Structure 1
Amino acid sequence: MHGFKSFSDSTQIDFMPGITGIVGPNGSGKSNIIEAIHWVMGEQSAKGLRGDKMADVIFGGTKTRAPLNRAEVGIVFDNRDHYLKSDFDEIEIKRILYRNGDSKYLLNGKQVRLRDIQELFMDSGLGHESFSIISQGRVEYIFSAKPEDRRSIIEDVAGVYKYKQNKTQAGKKLTNVQDNLDRVTDILYELEQRLEPLAKQSAKAKDYQQQKAAYDELDYQRLQNELTLWQQQLSTILNQMQQAQNKADVQNDQLKQQQQQLETARQSLAEQRETQQQQQHLLLEISTSVENLAGELKLQAERAHNQAQLVETTQATLDERRKGYTNLMQQIKHAQSEVTQTQVELRALAEQTATLTREADHQQLKALEGNRETLRNEVVDALEQLTTAKNNQRFAQQEDQRADAQANRYRQRQSELAQQLTQAQSDLERAQHVHQSAQSELTQAQTDLTQQQQVGQELEKAYQQQRQAWYDQLQKQQQVQARVQSLQRLNEQYDGYYQGVKNLMKQHTKFPGIKGVVAELIQVDAKYQLAIETALGAALQQVVVDEPATAKQAIQYLSQNHLGRVTFLPLATIKARHLQSDLLASAQATPGYLGTAAELVDLAPEFQMLKQHLLATTVIAENLEQATPMAARLKQRVRIVTLDGQVINAGGSMTGGASRNQQQGLLTQKNELADLSAQLGTLNQEVAALEQQVQAKQAALQPLTENFKNQQDTVMHLSEVEQQKQADVQVAKQTVTQLEQAQTALTYDMQVAGVTTGATATQAQVDLKTAQANYDDATQRLDDMQLEIETLRTSLAESDERLLDKQMHQKTVEATYTHMQANVARLNEQASANEQAQQQLTQQLKDLQSNQQDVTARLEAEYASKQAKQQTVEQQVQALVQQIGSAQVELEQLERQMTTVQSQQQSQMQVINQLTNQKSRLQTQIEQAEVQLSEMYDAEYEPQAQVDEADLADLKKRLLLLKRGLDDIGTVNLDAIEEYAQVQERYDFLKKQKQDLLDAHADLTETMSEMDEEVKTRFKTTFDAVNEHFERIFVKMFGGGQAKLYLNQPDDLLRTGIDIKAQPPGKKFQQMSLLSGGEKALTAISLLFAILAVRPVPFVVLDETEAALDEANVDRFANYLQDANEQTQFIVITHRQGTMAACDVLYGVTMQEPGVSTMVSVNLNQSVNERGEA
């Protein structure tokens, strides 16, 4: 190794026979050695090497070392037994990767492909994906994988990879064959639909050609005769035109003189009319001013009338205010009267208040208080009797004390029972509390278990959904990839091209001047691809070359080998085409215009002339509805193609429709390949991302399953505790019940003893009650007297309250008096304001009357001045009208004279125009006839000696008959003759090709069935052998127990999954997933060793596979390695001492320099021997 990850220096590791161990602290670079072996044997995933991109395997540098530019790893195999299929006794594989992304593989020093390396290891049990390199993750994969995924383990051992790969390749070939067969069938169907119509069209075209040749011969003679006759007529017309023009010139001179006289008269009349208009305009302005002044005078009169009304209104307002002032004065007098009356009322209230205070009488109150003292003496006597009765009761109580001794014994026992009962109740409460706590813990644990179960189910569901999404996206990726490969293959084989194009392009390297087919060179947006395909038609398959010489060489090659026909486009000779500017402008101004076809495609700069040559004269329209008026506007002179492929040809013919089995166009196929290639890149990224998500969810599900099992154990333990606490509560309840029953019995005994002593005190109690009743009666009468006294005092209080009401009313009246005084003041203020308003209105009336008189005088003076000026201007306008009338009569006489001359001139010009039209018509006929001769017959006009009109008429009749015959034939496709021959040739070829494809399809199907049978046989044989060794090795690794492999679909050996059941010593026979982590790991290792027993390999790399085992199982693992190392060389990365002890050679990996790994080796067998000799 050199430059691979942390091994910056050149490092060599010699793996000796036996067991080689690689040890070292975490992060020292041990796993980099295994990854180097993976990498050099063909690993392509940077993720599998713990990197983001492949360049991450190159040493990236440290603080003291610069990054390296390449990584190099080589591995040497001793192949003297020719285990690998190679003639070499020693095989060296080397892989080199440069930081710029370049890489290469070397096999014994010779550069080879990655596929060569893969084929070398195919079905050898070696390779970067085989079980010769086993990591801890590979062990976890065995017990965590789905049964269907686990079958790959047996398939790898059975060596069916090459069969599956061959079947996959055969399947791809079968798909390709089927695709080609479908395509050929579709093409044949299309050709069959074309052959019969083409045969008819070909025969029709040949008939048309014969009749057309006869028609052209007669039509040529007709054109020559007509030209001769028209030339003679044209000469006569030119002479007549010259004579008519001379007469017209004389008339024109006369007309000019009359026009000058008329112009002078018109100018004079115009000047007079302009003067008249100016005077009329002035008169209008003066009249308007007069009318405006009259209006203002009228308005001023109305204002005077309004002001008179305002004076009246103001005067009325003043009268109202005076009346209001009088009313205010009356209100003030009334308010002052109310104030005086209120003062009288206040004085009367003061006198009533004094009277109420003097009438209170307290004599009765004094008499009642005297009676109360008599009753108090009676109460004292009753109290003395009550005291005597109490003394007698005390004597009776002393008699009862003799029974207290026995009662004390009862009470002592009762106290003891009460203490015991309290303690028992306390114990019961404590037991209930502990029971409730246990129930709460159990309920919480059960809730947590349910939640974990739900979370686990949701995570499992999410995992399955994510996995299904991954499978769906992977399937979509494979479908897109298959379609991309199919399209690429079609492009490489030029399928869909004419036979000549296909044959030529397969050998295009022989002709350096070939630039490509038009369909390959052109780039077009998907929106326009159907329109461009239709516009180009067969031109899509025309071959672009640099110059005519290349085209000649290619044509010679095609002709000599009978490989078909091809149309060439030499860039050096083709010319650009353009639409006329007026046609282009008309098209652009028409709705639905999208552009010329040349504007909507892209070609490389060197092919711009090609674009203009093929597409510049074709217009692309939105649809046929918009294309139809566009064609009419362009006078049917431009070819128009719509987006859906309909065509309006120059000249007015239309082509359109669609085929049910329409073949995919070349541009469509090209764009589909580009789109699918981009989609495939996106799908590759999505599949990789989904695969990472599936692995992340699978990793998250594993600890949750273990937590769920632990939670189940906790719930079971808490359930047992809760049942024990419930039993403790029942015992405490029984103790409380027993103590309560004993306490009830003791109370009954105490009641029986109390009956005897109770009779003695009964009489004393009766006497006490009598005395108490007398005392209560006297006390009651004293209370009644006290109540009467209080009633009288209450009456006195009510008198005081009425006095208070009078005082409150007095205050209300005083407040009313104050309000009236304020009202009088307010009314006085209103009277003052009313007086000021009267004075203001009087002044306003005086101002209005003064202003009205001034304005009226000014308006009357201005109105008189304007009327005088208006009369003067009206007289001037009348004089101008008379002058204009005279000038108008003179002008009309001149115009009548000029009209006569113009009429004569127009008559002469009509003659000239008629002759000119005849001349133009003849010239047009002559030009058209000459054009027809040139374009149709490539000939020029030849004057005929003599033309007989009768012979010419007979000639036209014969032409008419021939024309009708051609019209009866109808539309003719002249290309049908050659097209029919080409289609027939292609049909025969494809029919033979279809039979070849059917034969290939049958052969591939039979081959795939044979491969399936071989895979089934090898898989079943290998499965049985691995199962047998697995049962034996499991017992050896566990020291007992049993294990077995099962097929979950034994009837479907191509798809069946593999289940694993195991029974470690002391446990039941169950699924592997239910075992503990260490048991699952050791079971998986046992299966790996069984695989190696069935398919021994020269060496095995184990990367911390025993990390999850305990010490005892590590020892069994190490012992098995020692037993198996006679046939297999083991390379072990480990941290476990038991495994290290079993190694023959140990390599230590250290980082004495940060970021740089170095190796230290120790031969343990040699060290042991040396210690033994010492």
Structure 2
Amino acid sequence: MFLTKLELMGFKSFASKTALEFPRGIVAIVGPNGSGKSNVIDAVRWLLGERDAKNLRGVRVEDLIFAGTPTRARMSMAQASLHFDNRSKFFPVDYEEVSVTRQVTRAGTSQYFLNKAEVRLKDIVDFFAHSRLGTKGLIIIGQGQSDLFIKATPQERREMIEEILGLREYQLKKSEAERKLKHTTENAEKVAATIEEIAPHLRLLKRQTMKWERREEVAAELRGLETAYFSRKIGAIRNELDGVKPRIAEAQRALTAAEEELKGVHVKLKEAQAAHMPDQKALEGLLAKEQELMATRAKLEKEAARSEAKLEYLETRQVPDSQDAGTLTAALKEVQGKLAAALPGDADSLREAARAVLRIIEELWKSTPKQRSDAEARRLKEDAAVLREKLSRSDAELDALRGERQKLIENTQNVNTLLGEMLSVFEKKKDEIGRLESEKNKRLFEEERLNLRLLDIRHEVEQIGRDMSEFKLDLGADTEEGNAADAEKRMLRLRGELASIGDVDEALVREAKETETRHEFLSAQLEDLKRAAADLATLMNDLDQRIHQEFTGALGTINEEFQKFFQLMFGGGKARLKLKLPELKAQTAEEEDTEEQPAHKRKEEEWPEERMVEAGVEIEMSLPRRKITGLEMLSGGERSLISIAALFSLISVSPPPFLVLDEIDAALDERNAQRFAELIKNFSKNTQFVIVTHNRSTMEVADILYGVTMAEDGASKIVSLKLGN
């Protein structure tokens, strides 16, 4: 695995989008001071998960964004991407290329991407920590940190070594376990305090609810007895229902038959009414005609009376002249017309009126003077004959009308008689159906009452049956012996005991139950927390053992390499890395009384293994031809040489995929610079070097040179030069 490309846009002095291609081997970045060379190193550190802006040579996150110049506007966002060749599967992912991208805005928002998928910063840190790449080790040595290994505290030196050895992953797991253990312990303490707090109150509630418990026992026994008692009651009600159901069915059958019969009568009644309808209408017409004829008859009687009066008057006067005869003739014609109109009326009255008129005419005819002409006499005789003929026809018509009327009257009487009989039957059937409906409703009401009673008893039995199991043997004996009286006495006694106990404060009972449930839950939770804490402690212990074993196993080899590179750089002398045990407090007087050696006076090999993981790393060395009493007495060049010797001793034991170094050779003289160049050239076969340098010897061994310059607009620009063999 190696770095393939770094992309920058808006990051520090790199305003425009800039890309640096990284081949295998050595990449040297050169340029004048202030051009932005070290910003490339800062970008790599930032992409590997650095959180602290101070380690990126800034104060705030905004310092990572291009701030602008008098000729170029500032940027609102900084973005950088780092690409890795993963064909060797150094990273445990199924990608031949892995990329990490990080963005930050002036508003303070940040985004992180791993292979273009958005992730958390923690995910990036963990990803690189599992692969021995991080910001706390010696993978990246920034500007002014050439003697970083010298200046570090013993504990910091141990962390640098652990990271380059790949033990950082275990330390992260241990830190996470410690965090969880602390959280778990705090929770356990809170839960234990809560349990201790509610325990006295729970005991008090339990004493107060003993009365309720006795009430529950009595109520349970009573429910058991009532279950058996009401079970027998259910049997009796079922038998009563079995007797009611046949009577309901019989009433239903009778009601159905009566309803069918009533339907038949109703149909016949409708048919008779339909058949009688034409006769009824005809009779109504005749009655109306009869009324009309009676009115006409009264009118003719009045006319006849007037005619008779007139005739009497004429007879007394014996009017001889032709004028009176003409007047009589006109009166006769008028009477004839009225007779003709009255023909359909009352036959008897008309006949009598006609005969009276004829008599009057005959008498008038006899008393009329002989001067009347024969023509007038013949005319009067013809009129009389016409009148007689009309009378004959009216007699026949009246006889026919009388017969028809009589027939209709008789038919109507017969139909009315039949309708009366059918209506009588219909009313009887309606009364019978009403009675049957009443009987049916009575039976159904009885059935509903019994069903409701049965349902109530069943519900009570089900409620009682839930607490019946402990009384089944006794109840079975009572049932078999049929000793219902004893059961009733026992129920009466239990009800009395319940009454004497009285009602229980439901709120108190509920509080007791809730408190007990909470106590049980907290106790179970406390046990779970204790088990989790024990598991975490075991995990931490396992991790400590593994870290200690791998660290101490590698430390001997590292010391051998450290000695070799130290002598190479200084031409002699001795150097080694030594574990520094943490300072312990002085032993108490009680401990001093024991024969055991005080902890702070033990030798390294006598320390317990679980405490060895807390040991830091010190540097012990002696220079050739010079005696020093401490690292602070070393010159800048000597400090750099020791740091370089330590660095190469570490990477010779556990070669990292790449190293990013910023002017680590700045304090070296020409001879040591050449040695440094030879070292990185030899190690570049297994480790890729990206190094910012001003040293010609380092440039000469580089495979590619990147020059960083500051453009007129104040932004950094990159030029590249690929070197031949």
User: What TM-score, normalized to structure 2?
Assistant: 0.53
- 1:105 shift after superposition: 1.7
Structure 2 residue 680 is matched with structure 1 residue 1115: no
Q: Deviations over 1:944-982 (max 9, x none)?
A: xxxxxxxxxxxxxxxxxxxxx99x99x996621211122
Tell me by how many angstroms 1:167 deviates. 2.0
Shift of 1:101: 2.4
Classify 1:89/1:988 alpha carbon distance in 2 versus 1 (closer, same or farther; 3 Å). Answer: same
The match for 1:1036 among 563, 568, 572 is 568
Q: Confirm or deny: 8 A CA contact 1:118 1:127 kept in the other structure.
A: yes
Aligned counterpart in structure 2 of residue 997 of structure 1, from 529, 536, 558: 529
| Cα separation, partners in 2 of 1:121 and 1:992, compared to 1, 3 Å | same
**Partner Cα separation in structure 2 for residue 20 and residue 204 of structure 1:** 88
User: Following the alignment from structure 1 to structure 2, what is the Cα–Cα distance between the partners of residues 990 and 1069?
Assistant: 63
Give the corresponding residue for 1:184: 191
Structure 1 residue 208: Cα displacement? 12
Larger helix share, 1 or 2: 1
Q: Does the 8 Å CA contact 1:205/1:976 hold for their aligned counterparts?
A: no
Question: 1:75 and 1:148 mapped to 2: Cα distance?
Answer: 30
Q: Are 1:69 and 1:99, in contact at CA under 8 Å, matched by a contact in 2?
A: yes
Structure 2 residue aligned with 1:1137: 696
Q: Confirm or deny that 1:1023 pairs with 2:558.
A: no
Amino acid at match of 1:995: E
Q: 1:219-244 CA deviation, whole Å, 9 max, x = no partner?
A: xxxxxxxxxxxxxxxxxxxxxxxxxx
Check the 8 A contact 2:136/2:159 in 1, yes or no.
no
Q: 1:5 to 1:1002 in 2, by over 3 A?
A: closer
Partner secondary structure for residue 656 of structure 2: coil
Task: Give the counterpart letter for 1:1053 in structure 2.
Answer: M
Which SS does the other structure have where 1:181 is aligned? Answer: helix
Secondary structure of 2:93 counterpart: coil
Q: 2:622 aligns with which of 1063, 1066, 1069?
A: 1063
Decide which of 579, 583, 587 is 1:1047's aligned counterpart: 579
Aligned to 1:977: 509
Match among 164, 167, 170 for residue 160 of structure 1: 167
1:1161–1:1127 CA distance, 2 compared to 1 (3 A):
same
What is the 5 A alignment of 1:935-1014? 975-1014=507-546
1:1150 aligns to what SS in structure 2? strand
1:1084 shift after superposition: 0.9
Cα distance change on mapping 1:1047 and 1:190 into 2, 3 Å: closer
Q: Deviations over 1:342-388 (max 9, x none)?
A: xxxxxxxxxxxxxxxxxxxxxxxxxxxxxxxxxxxxxxxxxxxxxxx
Deviations 1:536-564 (A, max 9, x none): xxxxxxxxxxxxxxxxxxxxxxxxxxxxx
CA distance in 1, matches of 2:617, 2:185: 34
Matched residue, 2:359? none
2:655 is equivalent to residue 1089 of structure 1? no
In structure 2, what is the Cα distance between the partners aligned to 1:1072 and 1:123?
A: 33
For the pair 1:145 / 2:152, whether they are aligned, the reply is: yes
Match of residue 125 from structure 2? 118
- Residue 863 of structure 1 is matched in structure 2 by none
Q: Deviations for 1:837-875, whole angstroms, at most 9, x for unmatched residues? A: xxxxxxxxxxxxxxxxxxxxxxxxxxxxxxxxxxxxxxx
Q: Out of 59, 66, 69, which is 1:62 matched to?
A: 69
1:39 aligns with 2:52: no
Asked whether the equivalents of residues 75 and 92 of structure 1 are also in contact (C-alpha less than 8 Å), the reply is yes
| 1:1150 lines up with 2:709 in the alignment | yes
Give the 3 Å change call, closer, same or farther, for CA 3–1127 of structure 1 in structure 2: same
Q: Distance in 2 between matches of 1:993 and 1:20?
A: 58
**Which of 102, 113, 117 lines up with 1:95 in the alignment?**
102
Say if 1:157 and 1:1022, in contact at 8 Å, map to a contact too. Answer: no
SS at match of 1:992: helix
Partner of residue 659 from structure 2, selected from 1093, 1100, 1111: 1100
Matches within 5 A, 1:12-31: 12-31=19-38
Instruction: After TM superposition, list the pairs within 5 Å mapping 1:743-762 onto structure 2.
Output: none
Paired with 2:17 and 2:24, the residues of 1 have a C-alpha distance of 23
Contact 1:1061 1:1071 in 2 (8 A): no
Supply the AA of the counterpart residue of 2:622. Q
Deviation, structure 1 residue 121: 0.6
Distance between the aligned counterparts of 2:79 and 2:616, measured in 1? 40
**Residues in 1 aligned to 2:509 and 2:100: alpha-carbon distance in whole angstroms:** 64
The Cα shift of 1:206 comes to 9.2
1:195 paired with 2:215, answer: no
> CA contact under 8 A between 1:1038 and 1:1113: conserved in structure 2?
no
CA-CA distance at 1:117 after TM superposition: 1.4
Partner SS for 2:520: helix
What corresponds to 1:1073 in structure 2?
Answer: 632
User: What is the aligned partner in structure 1 of residue 136 from structure 2?
Assistant: 129
Q: Is the CA contact 2:137–2:161 (under 8 Å) kept in the aligned structure 1? A: no
Paired residue for 1:5, among 12, 18, 25? 12
CA distance in 2, matches of 1:987, 1:1016: 43
Q: Which amino acid counterpart does residue 88 of structure 2 have in structure 1?
A: D
Deviation at 1:1078, TM superposition (A): 1.0
With over 3 angstroms needed to count, the CA separation of the structure-2 counterparts of 1:1035 and 1:55, relative to structure 1, is: same
CA distance in 2 between partners of 1:23 and 1:1136 (Å): 9
For 1:148 and 1:1032, the matched residues in 2 are separated by 24
TM-score normalised by structure 1 residue count: 0.33
Aligned length: 409
> Is the CA contact (8 Å cut-off) linking 2:41 and 2:142 kept in structure 1?
no
1:1135 is paired with a residue whose SS is: coil
- Corresponding residue SS for 1:138: coil
What SS does structure 1 have at the residue aligned with 2:710? strand
Following superposition, the deviation at residue 1131 of structure 1 comes to 1.1
CA distance in 1, matches of 2:135, 2:188: 39
CA distance in 2, matches of 1:116, 1:172: 17
Question: What letter matches 1:1009 in structure 2?
Answer: N
Output the CA distance in 2 between the equivalents of 1:1066 and 1:1011: 44
1:15 and 1:206, CA in 2 relative to 1: closer, same or farther beyond 3 A?
closer
Distance 2:710 2:203 in 1: 84
Structure 1 residue 125 displacement after superposition:
2.7
Gaps of at least 5 residues in structure 1 are 210-964, 1167-1174
Distance (whole Å) between structure 2 residues aligned to residue 159 and residue 39 of structure 1 = 20
Matches within 5 A, 1:539-578: none
Partner of 1:71 in structure 2?
78
**Percent sequence identity over aligned pairs:** 39
Q: What CA distance in whole angstroms lies between the structure 2 residues aligned with 1:1073 and 1:125?
A: 31
Cα distance change, pair 1012–1115 in 1 and its aligned pair in 2 (3 A): same
Matched residue of 1:975: which SS? helix
- Encode CA deviations 1:164-195: one digit per residue, 9 max, x unaligned: 22222222222233223223323333333122
Would the aligned equivalents of 2:100 and 2:113 in 1 still touch at CA under 8 Å? yes
Q: Is the alpha carbon distance of 1:123 and 1:1063 closer, same or farther for their aligned partners in structure 2, counting shifts above 3 Å?
A: farther
Q: Which runs of 5+ in 2 are unaligned?
A: 1-7, 217-498, 582-603
Distance, in Å, in 1 between the alignment partners of 2:109 and 2:155 is 38
Structure-to-structure mapping, 1:715-864, within 5 angstroms: none
1:43-442 matched pairs, under 5 angstroms: 43-203=50-210
- Does the CA-based 8 Å contact 1:1060-1:1071 persist in structure 2? no
| Structure 1 residues 1077 and 113, CA gap change in structure 2 (3 angstroms) | same
The whole-number CA distance in structure 2 between the counterparts of 1:1132 and 1:196 is: 73
- Structure 1's 208 and 71: CA in aligned 2 closer, same or farther, altered over 3 A? same
Is the alpha carbon distance of 1:79 and 1:151 closer, same or farther for their aligned partners in structure 2, counting shifts above 3 Å?
Answer: same
Deviation at 1:20, TM superposition (A): 1.3
In structure 2, what is the Cα distance between the partners aligned to 1:136 and 1:1053?
Answer: 33
One-letter amino acid of the counterpart of residue 616, structure 2:
G
Q: 1:1096, CA displacement in angstroms?
A: 0.8
Task: Say whether the 8 Å CA contact 1:125–1:156 is kept in structure 2.
Answer: yes
The separation in 1 between residues aligned to 2:194 and 2:166, in whole angstroms, is: 43
Relative to 1, partners in 2 of residues 1:106 and 1:173: Cα closer, same or farther, differing over 3 Å?
closer
